Each structure stands twice: as C-alpha cells, then as structure tokens.
Amino acid sequence: MASGNIKIHDHSRVSPPSSTPQTSLSLTFFDLFWLRFHPVERIFFYTLPTPLSHPSTFFTQVVPTLKTSLSHTLRHFPTLAGNVVWPSDSPNPLIKYTLGDTVSLVVAQSEADFDQTLDKSPRNASESRALVPHLESSDSHAEVLSLQITLFPNRGFTIGISTHHAVLDGKSSTLFVKAWSSLCKTINDSGSEPESLPLAKGLQPFFDRTVIKTASELGLNFSNDLTEALAKMFPQENSDGRCLKLLPFLPRVEDADRATFLLTRSKLQKRVLSKWDLESESESKGVSKPATLSSFVLTCAYALVCIAKAVHGVEADKEKFGFGFTVDCRARMEPPVPDNYFGNCVWGLMVDTEPLGFIKEEGVVCVAKSTHGKIKEMLDKGVFYGFDGQLSKYETWIKGGYQILGVAGSNRFGVYETDFGWGKPAKVEIASVDRAMTIGLAESKDAKGGVEVGLVLNKDVMDLFRTLFHEGLSNE
C-alpha cells in the first residue's frame, strides 16, 4: 500500500498493559465546545544516525522500542486508547476505555528528500499531510488518538500525532508526548525494558473531573447556539445533537504552501510601544501603555497583520478580519485547577480590533494594542467576562464576511525538549493549521526567546506574506 512518496510498512494496534483498569470520564463544558472540531495534528521530525535509520535496523530496533514505551505510557493515559461515546442514558458524551481498546499505529517509509522536508521555507502543503495519521470517527463513536511513524531511510524519521480536541487540549497533548518520550528514553538508556516504568515527576496526568465547575456553577448560560452555528456551517452533515462524527474542516493543500518563520520580540516591542499613543483604537481606549509586551501579543500582531495584508493584496475585496485565541484557564479558575489536569481547560477570547485595522499602515500597533487590552481585561475581570457577547460577535463576523484568524499551540509548551532517546527534534509542525486560517506557535529551536510561526497559505498569498514579513523586520 502506497500513497505518493509514502509506503505503508505496517498498521498495528497498540494497547495498554492488560492490568490497566477500565475507566470512563465525562466531558466537561470545556470539552464539549470541541466535540466535533477537527483533530489537532502535530509532526515531530528527528534526524537519526545511519546505522539506526537503515530500514532493517529501524524497523527491528527503533520501532519496537517506540511501541513498547507507548504501551507503558498508555497505562498512565488509558483514555487515549479509548473512544468518545454517548450512551443513551447519559446526558453528555463520555471518554471510555474498555479492556481491548487500542491506539492505531501506522509505520511507513517515505522516499521524499528529508533535508527538503526539514526546510522551513515555503513548500507544498500536501507534503506534511502524508505524515499525519487519520483519526477515525462516526456518528456513534470517535477515536481519541492515532499515530504514524515514518522513516526517511538513512536520514531520520517523523512521528505524526492526531488527537481528539474534545479529550485533550494543547497542554495535555504535550504532557502525553513528553511522558511517552521520557519512558522511551528510559528504555533506550537502560538497554532493557524495566518491569515497571513510573512516570517522571511532573509528567503524571491528573484526571479528576470534579475540579472543573459546571457552566451553571460559573454563571454561564449555554444554549444550542454553538450546535446551530456548526449546523449552518456544514448543512450537509448530520446535525443530530448526539452525532460524534468530526466535521469536515478540510485541509487546504491545493495550490497552497506551508512554511515556518521566526520572530524575536526586542525590535518589534520597541516599534509598537513607540507608536502606542499615536494609534487611537476605539475599542481599546483606556488601555494604558505597558512597560513590556509579551511575545504572544507581538508575535500574533505581526504575523496576523502580515497575513491580512497579503490576503488583501492578492484579493482586494478581502479586507475585514477578526482574531480569536484561547487561554489556559487552569491557574485562573477558583480554586485553581492543577497544572497537569488532563483534558480541556481553555477558553476562547475574541479580540476587539476594528475589522479594517489589520490592513492599516500601523496594523501591527492596532492588533497588539487590542490583543493586550483583551488579555488585561481577562486578567482584571476574569476569563469568562463578556461571555454573552462572544457568540453574537462570532456570528457578526461570519455574516459580515470577515476572514477569521486564529492561533494554535504555544511557545511555552517546550515541544523541542521532546527527546525519545535519539536526540531532540530537528523541527516540529502543527499540521492542522491548514484546516483554518490559523498560525501555529512553538518556542524557537535555535533562537533563545524566539517564537516559531507555522502557517499554510495560498501560494500567491504566501509569496506576498514572505515579502511583507521580511521587509517589515528589515526596516526595524
């Protein structure tokens, strides 16, 4: 079986050890928001010395070690081997692990040029898609996790991960991958498989759902607005309230490029703060000039404005943009939720930048100012402040023909520390940014304090984006 430059070597199922107890977890209101959202897909790229990256050695030594450590890791994360289901007698869906449940693991081989794959400059967006596993879902159930290991003979390999967003957010997903890599490295370093593999301190997941208050306890009045909004977006799909099939947020690969760009905050911060009081942004009046701006604010403002100007430059009629992002609520709940809570604990915020503000001459200042203002409002008044207006604002954006921009990942996850025993990643991509107009963030592999920005754009838009991105920085 082959797909393009990919040849499937093996497709197996990996289970937790048989002693792993069966378990089920209810979905909280944080989880339910993502119930039919597209999978979150990441790819870790690793170089590997020639003896280990030769097919005969890789498939007989490296892959078995990855499989064994995965099984031991699933003992600590059993729900990842389970499924999202919705029993007829349950008011909400559940994540259920039953003895015999497994994780899909595809092992493949690629004939593509690995050095070209590692290159962060624009390349065909479809290339990464071949390295990402499919996550199965149907009306009645949905897988939680699927994996793909792809060998590039005599050069390196990739690990592609697809996760169900209703089960785990970015912090939880990263916790699992770090736990897996830690156990794998332990086996590598010891040269044998210990009888019991405990997780290192800080990598143990916390599953207790009682730490998450219900929406009503938080004073949030949920309705069917979200379900209705999704039904309007995908009218051909099953809109049954109990349907678990993931909605078809199809990846953009036709005539599209994927690339990764690097930003550092120092010069950008000086520029934005120097013009802070010159740009009067009506929605963010009263936001006093801060002493510093976070890397998140500066990165989003600069990257998203470059995207907006590139899109507008190629298609002049596209001039209205909106920006939303999620924040980790663990430390912001009362009482705080443990940092290793395993599930979703993120909440979306809609930024108040004027729709034409992204393409203004000083759009970076406009977006930075309104993003900083939204974060300050959240810190001062609580993460759920203004909840009632969020969905109506989103509907206004949709009806107004806005291009909605988003963010995935974080430069605080430490993805470049993920060492399975053969070294740290040469590159990490959030593949699923091609399913929406989203940028993927990670800490820089090479530049201390830098942020990597991954994105997928139409080829013409990417060409203009690259020009605007580099010219804007060279003018600093």
| Number of alpha helices (DSSP H) and beta strands (DSSP E) in the chain | 13, 18
Coil, helix or strand for 319?
coil
Q: Which residue in 141, 419, 460, 463 is the catalytic one? A: 419
CA distance 90 to 95: 12
320 strand-pairing partners: none
Q: Which residue in 76, 165, 312, 372 is the catalytic one? A: 165
Cβ-count burial 446-470 (b if 16+ within 10 Å, e if not): eeeebbbbbbbbbeebbbbbbebbe
Sign of the torsion angle spanned by Cα atoms 99, 342, 177, 105: positive
Sign of the torsion angle spanned by Cα atoms 226, 343, 294, 432: negative
State both tokens at 345.
Answer: 């604990």
Distances (CA, A) of 377 to 175, 213, 335, 385: 29, 22, 20, 8
165 is catalytic: yes
State both tokens at 397.
Answer: 């954006």
277 is catalytic: no
Whether the CB-CB separation of 173 and 40 falls below 8 Å is answered with yes
Could you say which DSSP state residue 100 is in?
A: T
Residues annotated as part of the active site: 165, 419
